A = this chain, B = another copy of it.
Amino acid sequence: MTGPERADAARNRAAILAAAAELFDRDGVEEVSMNDIARHAGVGKGTIFRRFGDRTALIEAVLLPRAAAMRRLVHHGPPPVGPGGEPLEALHALLDTLFDFVWANRTLIRALEHRVPHSYYAHSSSRYWLDELARRLTVTHPHDDTEYLTHILSTALRADVVDYLVSVRGMALDQVRAGLHRLAFPCVPPPSLADVDRRSVS
């Protein structure tokens, strides 16, 4: 066991991740076999399993850097999504950021949920933003049942729920986004469309 990883191994890891990301995105996760990825990356199938263990771990490995980027944005980025902004703006910015992340990675997220039931809520890389959401809700909704609200919002943010609204019910993305913000304030009338537009364009 030398320090980290041999040079050729690192090269192959990168090639596999790139090939997997491209094929998953292009053809849908379920349509891509491990053999496809191996061929496309120019490596043997055994190499993939040696690097990543199994199919589930490979999917996670493709998703991980994207989740980490979002996490960095939330924890160290500029306000309003990063720390230091006005609480209400911070909550809405977080919702938008989560929504964008879920939408952009919906195929990977759905595939993971498919292979590891409840991973959407229970997976460690999900927990942190569920907790962050709860934290911001506690500030903006000090008198409500924030655990309950967190659950409602995180369910509305499920990749398959959003996907259904858009691809089966034909809702526009901004409609779904507006519904999400409205859900956070169930007892006030929904904001005017102009407000919603201003927020989601930023």
Residue ranges of A at the interface with B (Cβ–Cβ < 8 Å): 110, 114, 117-118, 121-122, 148, 151-152, 155-156, 160-161, 163-165, 167-168, 179, 183, 186-187
Minimum distance in angstroms from A187 CB to a CB of chain B: 4
Which of A156, A160, A165 has the most C-beta atoms of chain B within 10 angstroms of its own C-beta? A160
User: Once bound together, how far apart are the Cα atoms of A117 and B117, in whole Å?
Assistant: 15
The answer to whether B168 touches A118 (Cβ under 8 A) is yes
The answer to whether A118 touches B148 (Cβ under 8 A) is no
Minimum distance in angstroms from A166 CB to a CB of chain B: 11
Nearest chain B residue, comparing its CB with the CB of A147: B169
The answer to whether B164 touches A121 (Cβ under 8 A) is yes
- Which chain B residues border A164 with CB–CB below 8 Å? 118, 121-122
The answer to whether A165 touches B151 (Cβ under 8 A) is yes
Q: Which of B121, B151, B156, B160 contacts A117 (CB 8 A)?
A: B160
- Which chain B residues border A161 with CB–CB below 8 Å? 155
- Which chain B residues border A110 with CB–CB below 8 Å? 117
The answer to whether B114 touches A168 (Cβ under 8 A) is no
User: Once bound together, how far apart are the Cα atoms of A163 and B121, in whole Å?
Assistant: 12
User: Once bound together, how far apart are the Cα atoms of A179 and B149, in whole Å?
Assistant: 11
User: Once bound together, how far apart are the Cα atoms of A125 and B168, in whole Å?
Assistant: 16
Minimum distance in angstroms from A147 CB to a CB of chain B: 9
User: Once bound together, how far apart are the Cα atoms of A96 and B45, in whole Å?
Assistant: 50
- Which chain B residues border A186 with CB–CB below 8 Å? 186-187
- Which chain B residues border A163 with CB–CB below 8 Å? 117-118
Whether A121 contacts B155 in the complex (CB less than 8 A), given A179-B148, A187-B187, comes out as no
